[in-house]
């Protein structure tokens, strides 16, 4: 197998027919042949989308002999679905992208050629202009500045889900054992030789996404916590500063009391400071609790995903695998 394309699916299988048609056109023109079976595989990972979505994907595996469908036993999350697809991919070049085609498949040949010519292990698309609401652009910019500060990874701004990996990089990614996954952070941690090339960012065809504000916020928090323990260090430093200020304030109160001043008039101020301190304590305890919960998840050592069934050419080809 020369090329593998890994595509997670979550309630958006209705976009898959147009995606397959576009992939067939692009790769047939690039490879100068209409016989893509044995050269190309498109792996759809049905991440708990339900029977209707699964049937749509099975129909595509009948219509296109290069399509394989992995049906997970439930929704494990996009990053686990990506890990599943990368584990099953057999290609020398492995492409990771979304089904919505906001990242045009026409860039795949260019990215593969860039990888070969420059001897790169990972080629990532980078948007010259993101077709997103302004609030998303602002929050994304602020988040990546914070991510770089807290993780010390030099993650570029406006990177695309579309990326091409060689076999060496995919094998290294598949060797990772942690259950909590943040692919952009893992890409940075793995190292190897990276190349970022400018690509166009299209608007979604259906103008909707399964990622709302809260899911993006959770993803952003997890992205930082998965990749660094630096927030714990900052919390410890902040706690020391607050404790020092509290000690200075206590000494000030004792001295002023000895001098005969009445503190009844400042009662509201001290209550406010107490509430602020209590809020800081809750925040710090919550942050530590998140790290502990992730440690607990790793210690459980449950599979990252479970494949209920695998379909090729519309028929079940494997069942009951996990990783």
Tell me: the pLDDT tens digits for 168-191? 999 998 888 777 777 777 777 788
Burial zone of 271 (CB within 10 Å; 0-12 exposed, 13-18 middle, 19+ buried) = exposed
Angle between helices 183-190 and 167-174 (to 10 degrees): 110
Q: Is the pLDDT of residue 154 over 80?
A: no
- For 186-230, write each residue's pLDDT tens digit: 777 788 888 888 888 776 665 555 555 566 666 666 666 666 666
Tokens in use for 45?
A: 């990972």
**What pLDDT is stored for residue 47 in this prediction?**
87
* DSSP-derived pairing of the beta strands 122-127 and 194-199: parallel
- Choose the weakest-confidence range: 4-13, 158-167, 179-188, 262-271: 262-271
Distance, in Å, from the CA atom of 210 to the CA atom of 17, rounded to the nearest integer, reads: 19
User: What is residue 216's three-state secondary structure?
Assistant: helix
Locate tokens 């609401």: which residue? 133
Q: Is the pLDDT of residue 46 over 60?
A: yes
Name the pLDDT band for 166 (thresholds 50, 70, 90): very high
**What pLDDT is stored for residue 237 in this prediction?**
73
Percent above pLDDT 90 for the chain: 12
**What pLDDT is stored for residue 136 in this prediction?**
61
* DSSP-derived pairing of the beta strands 93-96 and 122-127: unpaired
**What pLDDT is stored for residue 40 in this prediction?**
92
Maximum CA pair distance of the chain?
94
First to last CA, the chain: 22
Mean local confidence (pLDDT), 24-36: 88
Cβ partners under 8 Å of residue 124, min gap 6: 156, 159, 160, 162, 163, 187, 194, 195, 196, 197
Mean local confidence (pLDDT), 5-26: 89
**What pLDDT is stored for residue 263 in this prediction?**
55
Architecture of domain 3-227+304-322: Alpha-Beta Complex (3.90)
**What pLDDT is stored for residue 153 in this prediction?**
63
């Amino acid at each position: 197998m020369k090329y593998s394309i890994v595509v997670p699916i979550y309630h958006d299988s209705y976009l898959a027919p147009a995606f397959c048609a576009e992939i067939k056109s692009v790769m047939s023109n690039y490879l100068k042949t209409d016989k893509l079976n044995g050269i190309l595989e498109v792996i759809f990972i049905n991440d708990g989308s339900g029977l209707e979505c699964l049937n749509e994907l099975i129909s595509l595996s009948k219509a296109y002999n290069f399509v394989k469908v992995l049906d997970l036993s439930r929704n494990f999350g996009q990053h686990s679905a990506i890990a599943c697809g990368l584990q099953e991919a057999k290609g020398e070049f492995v492409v990771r992208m979304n089904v919505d085609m906001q990242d045009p498949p026409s860039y795949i040949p260019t990215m593969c050629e860039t990888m070969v010519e420059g001897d790169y292990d990972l080629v990532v698309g980078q948007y010259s202009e993101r077709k997103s609401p302004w609030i998303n652009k602002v929050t994304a910019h602020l988040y990546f500045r914070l991510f770089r500060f807290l993780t010390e990874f030099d993650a570029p701004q406006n990177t695309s889900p579309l990326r091409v990996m060689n076999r060496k990089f995919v094998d290294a990614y598949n060797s990772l054992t942690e259950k909590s996954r943040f692919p952009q952070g893992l890409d940075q941690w793995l190292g190897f030789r990276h190349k970022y090339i400018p690509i166009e960012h299209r608007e979604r065809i259906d103008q909707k996404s399964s990622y709302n504000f809260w899911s993006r916020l959770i993803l952003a928090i997890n992205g930082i916590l998965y990749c660094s323990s630096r927030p714990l260090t900052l919390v410890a430093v902040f706690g020391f500063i607050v404790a020092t200020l509290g000690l200075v304030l206590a000494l000030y109160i004792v001295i002023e009391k000895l001098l005969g001043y009445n503190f009844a008039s400042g009662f509201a101020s001290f209550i406010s400071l107490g509430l602020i301190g209590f809020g800081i304590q809750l925040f710090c305890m919550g942050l530590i609790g998140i790290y502990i919960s992730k440690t607990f998840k790793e210690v459980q050592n449950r599979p990252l995903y479970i494949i209920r069934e695998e379909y090729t050419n519309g028929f079940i080809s494997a069942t009951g695998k996990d990783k």
